[in-house]
Structures are given as structure tokens and as C-alpha cells.
Amino acid sequence: MPYYQFTVPTGGATLQHKAEVAAAMTKVHSEVTGAPGKYVHCSFVEVPAGSIFVAGEPVTGPRLVGLIRSGRSAEIRGELLHGLADAWCAITGDAKEDVAVFLHEVPGANVLEEGVILPETADDPGAVL
């Protein structure tokens, strides 16, 4: 279920290491949440320089928007945010202060994967997604 999309300026280190970044995001998500890696989706969007703004000013740091199933505890979400950012920065050399990670929670009822609507309970040990 998790879907991570990176928005990266042309030439950014994230784009040079897509497969490695995707593998790291999968590992972090699986280790933190217990979800099998086969359900972790990653995509990369390259944008021209001057396409990402904060407070109306262009920035060069990449952005990550992640869709995760709702219901995870604040502790799990915090561990996930830091784990994703740390893994990303270790691979790309980006400073953690230059990246931004946004998690959006999605109810299981709003996701169909492998022909099945996902269960609602995210921290349930029996839930596999």
C-alpha cells in the first residue's frame, strides 16, 4: 500500500540513485511497520530547476510525498519519517535539512491492491499491508 513519490530537480542525486533509494525506502518501511516489502511502491518525478518553492522562493532540495495506511501511532510515524529521511540522505549525500518528507494517511477502504480492499487496522500485528 505505501506509495512514495520523489519530486527531484533535474540532476539531483536522488535521480542518480533511484534503484538504491527505492530499495532503502522499502527496507525502512518494512522494518518500521512490519509490512512486506512487496507492497511498497516508489516513483520518481524529475522537474526543471526552479520548480520547487518554499515560502515563494525556489529551493533545490528534493521532496518526498508518501501515502501510508491510516491508523499508525505517532511513534511509528515519527520513526518512519526519520528513517526514510536518514536512508535517503545516506545514499544521496543530501543534508537532512534540505529534504522534506510529507506523509499522508489513507484509510484502507480507499485502497485496492492485488484485487483486495485493504483492512483498516494499521498497527494490527495480523495486518500485512
DSSP state string for the chain: --EEEEEEETT-HHHHTHHHHHHHHHHHHHHHH---GGG-EEEEEEE-TT--EETTEE--S-EEEEEEETT--HHHHHHHHHHHHHHHHHHH---GGG-EEEEEEE-GGG-EETTEEPPS-SS-TT---
Chain segment 22-65, per-residue pLDDT in tens:
999 999 999 999 989 999 999 999 999 999 999 999 999 999 99
> What pLDDT score was predicted for residue 13?
87
Mean pLDDT (whole number) for 113-119: 90
- CATH code of the domain made up of 3-117: 3.30.429.10
pTM for this structure?
0.89
pLDDT at 81 over 60: yes
Mean pLDDT (whole number) for 77-106: 96
> What pLDDT score was predicted for residue 127?
52
> What pLDDT score was predicted for residue 121?
56
